[in-house]
Structure 1
Amino acid sequence: MKLASVRIDGVVRLGVIRDDTTVALPEVADTVDDVVRGGPQALDAVRAHLATAAIRPLAEVELDRPLRRFNRDILCTGWNYWEHFEESRGQRAGQDPIERPRHPTFFTKGPSTVIGPFDVIAYDAGLSLQWDYEAELALVIGKDGRDLAEKEALEHVFGYCVANDVSLRDVQRAHGGQWLKGKSIDGTMPLGPWITTADEVGDPALLRVQCEVNGRLLQDAPTELMAFSIPRLLSELSRGMTLHAGDVVLTGTPAGIGSARSPQLFLRPGDLVTTRVSRVGELRNRVAPG
């Protein structure tokens, strides 16, 4: 299923997308967050109520960010495609790692960054002129777990979204080289367009991640090229640290970022950023002063 947050007459409700043209509005739960945290029973209840749900054309509703309640910061993965690691070498200015890491690189970004699938990316030239795009596959945890074995890790994934980890490159470097500040600007990370449940996506290693700016394809890679697989990410991330239902995990961006190009290519007001992951969905976000 594709579970969406739909806004109707100013009220955000749970919606189930059908054929990308209509939305069913089951009365079984108030929000997508409730279903994610409710376990398999909540998802079964949604399925059971679809037959009697009201139906509306998708064009008549507004899609909001799929999740609105966050347990903590968004959990993120850096350098998880080796081509991206290599293209970024010249930007690290002596910072570690020099060689390919043997373990995943994790960081976080604030939940106030999250916007809807068609919302405006809130550009502020006073903060930076180096706004970069990063298309990513995001996953949503559906079952609490700690110290997960790789073979069981995917059992804890509720579903998948598309994300764009918009980053301010000079702000990243200005604060000790850490990534939190340069990636935590309010209203800058599109997420959505809905949560596609894990059963519908299948093997997350068989997807394709793409980003276009103004119709120009700048990132395009299969998820099988990840340096560390999703089961490996979840296993290492959960060591000594419980992952909770509702947590969002970004899995890294492929090569093609703007700051690694020659000449560099940064986002500007008016740009249209299209981010897609096969079998999951597509985001379309205009860059505009926020």
Structure 2
Amino acid sequence: MERYDRRKAQREERRVQLATISVDGRAVCVAILNDGMMLNIARAAQDLRGPEGDALRAGSMQHLIEGGARSLEALRGLVAEAEAGKHADAMAPANAPLLAPIPVPRKNVFCVGRNYAAHIAEGDRAQKQNVGVTEYPVFFTKPPTSIVPPDGDVLIFPSVSEAVDYEVELAVVIGKSGRNIAKADAYDHVFGYTILNDITARDIQRRHGGQYFKGKGLDGSCPLGPSIVTADAISDPHALSIGLSVNGEQRQNGNTSDMIFDIPTLIASVSEGLTLEPGDLIATGTPSGVGYAMEPPRFLKHGDTVVCEVSEIGTLRNPVRAV
């Protein structure tokens, strides 16, 4: 117990929680301090020299991630100073709205389907089929135009789909480029973790030959956030509770330990012949409890509120709006 507590304390010391906020219409990367205050990283890094200072002063989450280990270590120093009372002039407005941590990813979000056995079973029952567990991970993507910030609207288009569903997922944020990454090296390429809601138009998904992209790529179909927690602050990414509620009713309640393909396997698989880059996102699949598998099915509707939770990361809340 003493060793566990010491390790926990060490994680807390190194924990960096990063978010992106909107200030005067600009996206500003901040570090969230223990008291909830937000440190404007670019402003706090004004006197830092070297490439790490350049990366932090650029002011975006993307530049920070691209700055690598040296930039992250420099940021930890700034956060420690801020916790000690310095950088008072670099605090961001407390009421600044949150944006998605990476507001506009440079590439499509990589997503994994059918990665929890209970979710596969409920889907097979609902569709009266028996696909079962696949030999390799199932990948699809969501375009940058699908990204929704915390408290932003999940969009439903009644003239397009009448079967909009939810899926809470742990998302991996890539920190270092690589192609053909070995499983043993996979965690070296992870910057941190966040929460993603894989909103899905089930009827569109089925309409296009079972291909996922169209039904999962609509505008407003990828809530992301509220923040990124650095990888070394997470005790074990495969031992996190993960759940989702709609209007306060628990719908999904699982644990990342139930993934079929673990994170190193997913990184190794998706990077085969394909370069992963800093800032890339990989959503790792969802547990059981989705709306289309209920009897009768229960899809999202205008006015609903969807809340995703992953332990050690936080809560992602989004209202649903018909357009």
Larger Rg: 2
The superposition leaves residues 51-95 of structure 1 with CA deviations (integer Å, 9 ceiling, x where unpaired) of: 24323564x12111110342321100000000001110144466x
Matching residue of 2:41: 26
| Cα displacement string for residues 5-54 of structure 1 (whole angstroms, at most 9, x for unaligned residues) | 01123222111012362111122331111111111122123223332432
2:233 match: 200
**C-alpha contact (below 8 Å) 1:21/1:57 kept by paired residues:** no
Q: Report 1:234-273 matches (<5 A).
A: 234-273=267-306
Structure 2 CA distance for partners of 1:80 and 1:168, relative to 1, 3 Å:
same
Question: RMSD value over aligned CA atoms?
Answer: 1.6
Greater percentage in helix: 2
1:247 CA displacement:
0.6
Inter-CA distance 32–150: structure 2 relative to 1 (3 Å threshold): same
Say whether residues 1:64 and 2:99 are aligned partners: yes
1:143/1:163 CA distance change after superposition, 3 Å: same
1:96-135 to structure 2, matched below 5 A, reads: 98-135=131-168
**Secondary structure of the corresponding residue to residue 172 of structure 1:** helix
Aligned to 1:14: 29
Whether the aligned pair in 1 keeps the contact of 2:114 and 2:138 (CA below 8 Å) is: yes
Matched, 1:43 2:43: no
The superposition leaves residues 137-185 of structure 1 with CA deviations (integer Å, 9 ceiling, x where unpaired) of 0011000111122121011010001010000000001111100000000
Pairs aligned (count): 287
Alpha carbons 1:80, 1:104 under 8 Å: kept:
yes
Shift of 1:114: 0.5
3-state SS in 2 of match to 1:210: strand
1:160 pairs with 2:193: yes
Counterpart CA distance in 2 for 1:209 and 1:282 is 10
* Bigger share in strand: 1
Secondary structure at the counterpart of residue 49 of structure 1: helix
Distance 1:257 1:19 in 2: 34
Letter in 1 for 2:308: T
> What is the 5 A alignment of 1:166-245?
166-245=199-278
Change (3 A) 1:169 1:66: same
TM-score (norm. length: structure 1):
0.94
Q: Do the aligned partners of 2:242 and 2:256 also contact (CA within 8 Å) in 1?
A: yes
- Alignment gaps of 5+ in structure 2: 1-15, 43-55
